[in-house]
Every structure is written in C-alpha cells, then in structure tokens.
Amino acid sequence: DSGVTQTPKHLITATGQRVTLRCSPRSGDLSVYWYQQSLDQGLQFLIQYYNGEERAKGNILERFSAQQFPDLHSELNLSSLELGDSALYFCASSPIVSPYNEQFFGPGTRLTVL
C-alpha cells in the first residue's frame, strides 16, 4: 500500500459525458501527478500540481482539467468523453517538487467509455 488513494476504482460511462476522478496523496506529500495508461499509448504524464498550483503539463487534452485543493487532494475532470479516453488513470504523489524523489502511485481508476 503506497498511501495514495484513488476513487472510484472503476467507472463506466457513455460518450459525451463528464466524470471526475479523485486522488488523495500520501500524508505530507505536496505534489500530485496524474497519468493515463492505455494499451496503445503506454503510460503518459498528464499534469502535476504542487501545493495547489499547476507546475508541469504533459500530454493533457483540452477536454481534461485538474485541480488540487487546500487539503491537497486532487481531482481530474474529463469531459466530452470519447471511446479513446478509456484507460487506467493513475495518481502519484511525492513530498517535494524535486524530480530526484520517487513518486508513489495509487491503485488507479479504470475508466470505460461506451
């Protein structure tokens, strides 16, 4: 158990819908990262937040957005869903911004878009 929690574990929805994925980092960790894992794209970095502020952006679509709240939990919002958005979404946390610290991954949310 990494200490990072993600809810829900599974999510099934239809095209065009909007969903929210939630992540709680390890106690004391200030940085949260979101990743998408799909069969054809592998593991892709989406976005990073540090203490409530966006710090780095990867291959995140404009239909997707994220935020980190004062209690440090984070939410990833996916809208106008398409079939290709079906994937595993992972959240990770690390104590400080430095890239030399490892990231601790949550168990993931499996999103299925029908």
Partner 1 sequence: GDSVTQMEGPVTLSEEAFLTINCTYTATGYPSLFWYVQYPGEGLQLLLKATKADDKGSNKGFEATYRKETTSFHLEKGSVQVSDSAVYFCALSSGYSSASKIIFGSGTRLSIRP
Q: Summarize as ranges the residues that interact with partner 1 (CB under 8 A).
A: 2, 4, 31, 33, 42-43, 45, 48, 50, 55-56, 58, 90, 92, 97-100, 102-108
Q: 90, 35 in Cβ contact below 8 A?
A: yes
Question: Which residue lies nearer to partner 1 by CB, 22 or 55?
Answer: 55
User: What is the residue-wise DSSP string for 66-110?
Assistant: EEE-TTS-EEEEE-S--GGG-EEEEEEEESSS-TTSPPEE---EE
Q: Cβ 105 to partner 1, closest distance in Å?
A: 4
Q: Cβ 80 to partner 1, closest distance in Å?
A: 25
CA distance 1 to 84: 30
Best CA proximity match to 29, nearest among 93, 90, 99: 93
Question: Which residue lies nearer to partner 1 by CB, 36 or 113?
Answer: 36
Question: Which residue lies nearer to partner 1 by CB, 27 or 100?
Answer: 100
Question: Which residue lies nearer to partner 1 by CB, 14 or 53?
Answer: 53
Structure tokens at 38: 């799909």
Q: Cβ 103 to partner 1, closest distance in Å?
A: 6
